Amino acid sequence: MRMKTQPLQNKAQRAHGLFVGRKFVALISLFIILMGASACRSEYEKMIDKADRELLQQKSQLAKYLYLQVLEKRKERDDVRYRALKGLANVSATQLYEYREAAVAFSRIFEEFGQVGQYQVELRELRLMASKIWRLNLERPDKALDVLTPMIEKDPFEAEFGQELGRVYVALGDYKSASHWFSQTLEIAANQKNCELTKSLQLDLLQVFYIQDQCGKVFEIADMKYPKGCSPDKFAINVERANCLELTGDTAKAAEIYQEILKNDPKNLKALFFLEGLKRRQKQKQTK
């Protein structure tokens, strides 16, 4: 019986050894593949690091070239590609002033990484940057609105986002929506005691109400209560107040505002310019 089982044991041992050998070869092959991928990844990361350094040193064309090289070779939607796209958008917008290329790079970021959780906080800032490029540099507020729309329902609602959204609607000529977002965001900024943003939003809201000939609301917002520790931009508010007084036909009171400013600050050239413009317009009306 033992003589019969011996060949079977040897056969089983040989089979097991063959299996282990093949498994070992497979593991070695996998290890080599992973090491190769790691080496490639390191190469791309080094290119990105170099591109970032060139960007900081204002070597814009070289930085752009390196970012493009990585994007051409690295198709996986990973952190390396994300950094390359972000770097390309940054150098195109801030140093080369190639706004169309920057906008395209931002669009690729949102398309490829818009749903990736780890990038969501930074994507908010990138969407604001992209919106401003579309709105101001490329004069396409419709594209800016497309960029911002995915953020409208997201929490937390950020005041900087609300202001940009309002400005996009102003550029689109939708003053009702603009005033809605400015009003909502102004309340948030004031509650947060964000003084600079509160001042900026107040002026945005004054101007959009003036455009709509809603001077009653202009006067109401001009007299809004400011958060403790914050001070309004009194000159800019008085200019908007004077504009509305002129619009409603009370040019005498509008002139008084500028005269009061000049009384306290005789060298205020802006107030003098606005006052002279007001007088000139009145003379033109009288001669017609």
| 232-266 pLDDT tens trace | 999 999 999 999 999 999 999 999 999 999 999 99
Q: Is 229 part of a structural domain of the chain?
A: no
Q: Is the pLDDT of residue 37 over 70?
A: no
Residue 240 located in a structural domain: no
Q: How confident is the model at residue 40, as a pLDDT? A: 52
Q: Is the pLDDT of residue 18 over 50?
A: no
- Domain for residue 106, yes or no? yes
Q: Pick from 190, 140, 139: which is nearest to 163 by CA?
A: 190
The answer to whether position 61 is within a domain reads: yes
- Residue 272's alpha-carbon distances to 81, 221, 235, 265, in angstroms, are 55, 25, 12, 10
Cβ neighbours of residue 224 closer than 8 Å, sequence gap 6 or more: 202
**In this structure, is residue 183 part of a structural domain?**
no
- Cα–Cα distance for residue pair 204/172, rounded to 1 Å: 15
In a domain, 197, yes or no: no
pTM: 0.80
> Per-residue confidence at 153, pLDDT binned at 50, 70, 90?
confident
Mean pLDDT, the chain, as a whole number? Answer: 87
Are 130 and 114 in contact by the 8 Å Cβ rule? The answer is no
pLDDT band at 24 (very low <50, low <70, confident <90, very high): very low
Full residue range of the structural domain in which residue 134 is found: 45-138
Residue 65 lies in a domain: yes
Question: What per-residue confidence (pLDDT) applies to 41?
Answer: 55
Structure token digits, residue 276: 């002279």
Residue 283 lies in a domain: no
Contact 149, 114 (CB under 8 A): no
Beta-carbon-side half-sphere exposure of residue 108 (alpha carbons within 13 Å): 18
Q: How many domains does the chain have?
A: 1
Write out pLDDT tens, residues 115-134: 999 999 999 999 999 999 99
Between 68 and 37, name the one with better pLDDT. 68
